[in-house]
Amino acid sequence: MVDQLTPVLTKRWLSPRSWTLKTYEQLEGYTALRKALKAHPDQLIQQCKDSGLRGRGGAGFPTGLKWGFIPQNDGKPHYLVINADEGEPGTCKDIPLMMADPHSLIEGIIITSYAIRANFAAIYVRGEVLHCIRRLNNAVREAYAAGYLGKDILGSGFDLDVVVHAGAGAYICGEETALLDSLEGKRGQPRLKPPFPATAGLYASPTVVNNVETIASVPYIVNGGADWFRAMGRERSPGPKIYSLSGHVERPGQYEAPMGTTLRTLLDMAGGMKDGIPLKFWTPGGSSTPLFTAEHLDVPLDFEGAAEAGSMLGTTALQIFNETVSVPWAVMKWTEFYKHESCGKCTPCREGTYWLVQILQRMNRHEGTPADIETLLDICDNILGRSFCALGDGAVSPITSGIKYFKDEFLALCDRNSKVLAGASA
């Protein structure tokens, strides 16, 4: 039996000055790199495939497969771009990882770049996290000084430059093709796919875009092997995962556990619901993943488990709300977010989110009618699957799932005389 918590990515976080090269090297840091540089790049790609590692940025795409899509001997430069834009509401795992243990990401970047034959990598970090950017910059400087970056890394003949790139406040830049446009110095708007980044990514060259947690997992897979990684989690969703618990729980925070852990188990470790007030609704993986309720406490939180129960694993950002919070209010707040962050490129999302906000605000002022609920669902139907990128799909998740589980609360808002929760009580 594997333990309930399996600190791998988080295991150094308690060490003093964990962000320094010195601490990192004392705790096995850069041992995986030395090992990897002696292997053939294709062996690393195969090992990543064997491990079953799936992207931690939300969609769960198999990482080794993605690396394998990069054409070889095509004469073009290859790039690795790290998605550190962490902006999905509820998601708060990558930023603490990069603050506490930036070298684990950098070691993963070097190994991955070697595997996909890239000589330039960029870490695209959202701009609002200065301390994180500061620590990353320092880690990159330390890695250059120690010969882990730059020319002829550790005498292997492999060269790599890494740049830390601060974004400027736009959630849509987390979408991988918008991120690439933004990194090219443009407005961050999604590109038409295909072509996929693997063939035409950064500067129209083959590019891998991976999440921070995904790439930080790589050195452990190199050191432990695919079977070790698979000893945690479930068959199709292996490995450890950082679950972020926030909201009305006694001890919110970051809990790294095997994939497939349930909210019941996590809540137990987090001391249960705050002040014992019962759970009402929660997001399994950020606000773009359909809401769950107390009925879903035993859903295994991995890619398959969350999907079978009607939601998505997303970023394992568990935002937990108790009975004092109004669902239509929470849904309105999230919808205001999507409206603000819609990049405006396509009509369903740009116009749709605008009208959704108008209706939800009116309903929350107790000026709605039952027909509004139908209108909301109708607009959602026109956004879902008809938008240019997944932001549009995400925007309708809170609304459709909110109405699915809590329709009475929306109906109650249409009756001026009914007593309903207005907004949230702090």
Partner 1 sequence: MTQTQEPTGVFDQDTVARAQAIIARYPQPRSALLPMLHLVQSVEGYVSQAGIAFCAGQLDLAHAEVSAVATFYTMYKRRPCGEHLVSICTNTLCAALGGDAIYAAVREHLGSDGKPLGHEETAGEPGAPGSITLEHAECLAACDLGPVLQVNYEFFDNQTPEKALELVKALQAGEKPHPTRGAPLTDFRQAELQLAGFFEGRDADLDGPSAAPETVRGAAVAADRGWTAPTMPENAEFPALPEKK
Ligand X SMILES: Cc1cc2nc3c(=O)[nH]c(=O)nc-3n(C[C@H](O)[C@H](O)[C@H](O)COP(=O)(O)O)c2cc1C
**Interface with ligand SF4: number of residues (CB under 6 A):** 14
* Sheet strands side by side (includes 292-293): 253-258, 240-247, 317-322, 279-283, 292-293
Task: Please identify, among the stretches 85-93, 114-122, 269-277, 386-394, the one whose residues bind ligand SF4 according to the rule CB under 6 A.
Answer: 386-394
Q: What is the distance of C-alpha 228 from the center of its chain?
A: 24
Cβ neighbours for 209, distance < 8 A, ≥ 6 positions apart: 81, 82, 83, 176, 179, 180, 197, 201
Q: Residue 412 — φ and ψ, nearest 5°? A: -60, -30
7 or 150: CB nearest partner 1: 7
Residues in the chain: 426
Q: Which does 61 bind (CB under 5 to 8 A by kind): ligand X, partner 1, ligand SF4, none?
A: ligand X
For 94-175, where are the alpha helices, taking DSSP H only?
94-100, 102-116, 130-145
Report the C-alpha gap between 112 and 385 in whole angstroms: 33
Interaction mask 149-188, ligand SF4, x per CB under 6 A? -----------------------x----------------
Cβ neighbours for 386, distance < 8 A, ≥ 6 positions apart: 348, 392
Binding to partner 1 in span 82-121, by CB under 8 A = 86-92, 94-96, 99-100, 120
Q: By three-state DSSP, how is residue 383 classified? A: helix
Binding to partner 1 in span 235-264, by CB under 8 A = 240, 242-248, 251-257
Residue among 199, 216, 222 nearest 123 (CA) = 216
Interaction mask 366-405, partner 1, x per CB under 8 A? ----------------------------------------
Q: With binding defined as CB under 6 A, does residue 389 bind ligand SF4?
A: yes
77 or 150: CB nearest partner 1: 77
Binding to ligand X in span 65-104, by CB under 6 A = 83, 85-88
Q: Which of 63, 182, 214, 387 binds partner 1 (CB under 8 A)?
A: 182
Q: Are 90 and 246 in contact (CB under 8 A)?
A: yes
Q: Which of 12, 56, 333, 339 binds ligand X (CB under 6 A)?
A: 56
Binding to ligand SF4 in span 321-380, by CB under 6 A = 342-346, 349-350
Shortest reach from residue 35's CB to partner 1, in Å:
8
Task: Please identify, among the stretches 107-115, 210-218, 290-298, 329-337, the one whose residues bind ligand X according to the rule CB under 6 A.
Answer: 210-218
Q: With binding defined as CB under 8 A, does residue 31 bind partner 1?
A: no
DSSP result, 235-278 = TTEESEEEEEEEESBSS-EEEEEETT--HHHHHHHTTSBGGGPP
Q: With binding defined as CB under 6 A, does residue 260 bind ligand X?
A: no
Task: Please identify, among the stretches 52-60, 104-112, 263-271, 407-415, the one whose residues bind ligand X according to the rule CB under 6 A.
Answer: 52-60
Q: With binding defined as CB under 6 A, does residue 21 bind ligand SF4?
A: no
Report the C-alpha gap between 276 and 216 in whole angstroms: 36
Task: Please identify, among the stretches 42-50, 354-362, 363-371, 388-396, the one whose residues bind partner 1 according to the rule CB under 8 A.
Answer: 42-50
Q: Are 208 and 118 in contact (CB under 8 A)?
A: yes
Shortest reach from residue 155's CB to ligand X, in Å:
30
CA–CA distance from 222 to each of 34, 36, 85, 108 (Å)?
10, 7, 26, 10
Report the C-alpha gap between 24 and 98 in whole angstroms: 13
Residue ranges binding ligand SF4 (CB under 6 A)? 172, 190, 342-346, 349-350, 387-389, 391-392
Residue ranges binding ligand X (CB under 6 A)? 55-59, 61, 83, 85-88, 172, 174-176, 209-211, 214, 389-391
